[in-house]
Amino acid sequence: MIAKLMVMLLIASLFSSIVWANSGPSKWERNPGGEVLVIDENSPIEVNRELLSFDINYFKNVEVSTAIVNATYVMHNTSTVAEVCQMAFPLISNYRTMDSAMPNITVNGEKVEYEVFAGRIVENYNNRQSKSTEVLYSFDSIVENIHTDYQEIKGLEQNTIGKLYKIEANDGSYIENTRVTAVFSDRNESTKIVTSGFYNDYRKDGNIYLSGFYGNGNGYYIFIYGGEADFYVTAFDDWKASNEVEFDFTLIESEVTYKDFYELVIEPEIDWVCNLSSDYYNPVSKYNAATKRLFDYEKDGIISMSMINEYFDSSGDDRLFTVLYEVPFQAEDINEVSVEYQMPLSYNIRNEEGLELSLDYILNPASYWKDFKKLEVIVKVPSNFEMGESSMVFVENGEGQYKANSDTLLSSDLIISVINPTNIYDEELRNDSEGAIVDEESSDVETLIERGIKAILVIFVIIAIVILCIQFVSNKKYRE
């Protein structure tokens, strides 16, 4: 009884400690934004002028504060012949939020269609060993995302032939809590089995059991390639596969390519799970990304779609996406190209001058144009905010608006910060007593103390659980 009480109290205290510690960081840096670049080598297109504006939107929940970024370029085709210029826009986002992060791209006011290519994962800016953005936004990093061919991944090609089995339950065969199960016995070492609808796998008596709850809505599919595999289908009403129940079904077999299976099963599932069905995702890029993820979860030749679904659904990891589009130019033509999107802001509520919102904007992609002549930057700040320390000299240009100019492209990142000296966060954290605002070093010490306390609590919970287990075994032996 005492041990049970210990567990309950310790878990409660641990939970309250975790909630307190994770109430939100006081300082957080976001990944930077970046410029449009030209894909074609030796392009004759030059930028006569860029108007870059940041409309900063502050919310009391500072973590969701954003800036509406608009980059409008006046571009000139210096060639005496017509050109179709392929342009790329790098965008850091993730699968969960990419749909709302999509840019609006226009040429002379007319909307332009584009394709999105998913690239490599970008480590959280706060955790990266190097804060350098040169590699992140280099030409190679951006264009390496652009794959227009279906890749061969661990010997699996789009035209690889396999056998597809679909399990269809017959009418009236539904039993509550039924676990539809495929039991695999003999199979070749080279055999690969890709499944959909089965969410658990376990080994028993030398066999592999794949099971999933009946009525999950997605159906049951098994795609086998690379060799043979013997299996049969049954059902159980318990996860131990000890109580077999009657299950009336039809097994449909067909010979298909992997791409057929992908389009029939994999693509619709990840589209539904993570809203990837939008037309702007390049289908080849999505195919390659999904197929790579399949093999990340391979175990004994078994590849479960449940794991790839979980990845796309929970993938809050930021990655570098490349937005690709084309702009036609007549000979010696001038076009106005505009890109607008929403960018999350970094924040620091412990800035001595008040709440600080900031952003890092990478200009080096613009250096790939034939020439870049003039940059004009406008920052629109919210009420009660003023310009803070920035990498350009801004002058007030009307109420709530600041402006800066440069006759050349900056050699470094564009850093912009705005500060609200009367913000409620600042007032709550600051009072007249000494030490009301802690510095970064003392904040780090507090974090270490919090982690130490939680670690001790976890150890006590484990000890209490072990005591409970020992008591349970002892009581069981006593009853026997």
DSSP conformation letters of 229-249: EEEEEEEESSTTS-SB----E
Token digits of residue 375: 């940059």
**Which pLDDT score, from 0 to 100, does residue 174 have?**
57
319-345 per-position pLDDT tens digit: 788 899 999 999 999 999 999 999 889
Lowest mean pLDDT among 4-8, 9-13, 50-54, 308-312: 9-13
447 in Cβ contact with 26 (< 8 Å) = no
pLDDT at 4 over 70: no
CA–CA separation, 391 and 450 (whole Å): 36
CB-count burial class (<10 Å; 0-12, 13-18, 19+) for 357: buried
Average pLDDT score over residue span 390-403 = 92
pLDDT at 15 over 60: no
**Which pLDDT score, from 0 to 100, does residue 475 have?**
52
321 in Cβ contact with 98 (< 8 Å) = yes
The count of residues in the chain is 480
Identity (one letter) of the amino acid at 227?
A: G
What percent of the chain is modeled with pLDDT above 90? Answer: 32
Lowest mean pLDDT among 235-239, 338-342, 359-363, 455-459: 455-459
Structure-model confidence comparison of residues 74 and 478, the more confident one: 74
**Which pLDDT score, from 0 to 100, does residue 124 have?**
57
CB atoms within 10 A of CB 158: 19
- 103 pLDDT band, cuts 50/70/90, is very high
Question: In Å, how far are 159, 170, 181, 209, 311 from 199, measured between CA atoms?
Answer: 27, 21, 10, 11, 14
**pLDDT averaged over every residue in the chain:** 79
Identity (one letter) of the amino acid at 442?
A: S
List of residues 6+ apart from 301 with CB closer than 8 A: 187, 189, 191, 192, 193
What percent of the chain is modeled with pLDDT above 70? Answer: 74
187 in Cβ contact with 124 (< 8 Å) = no
Average pLDDT score over residue span 172-188 = 77
Lowest mean pLDDT among 100-114, 159-173, 429-443: 429-443
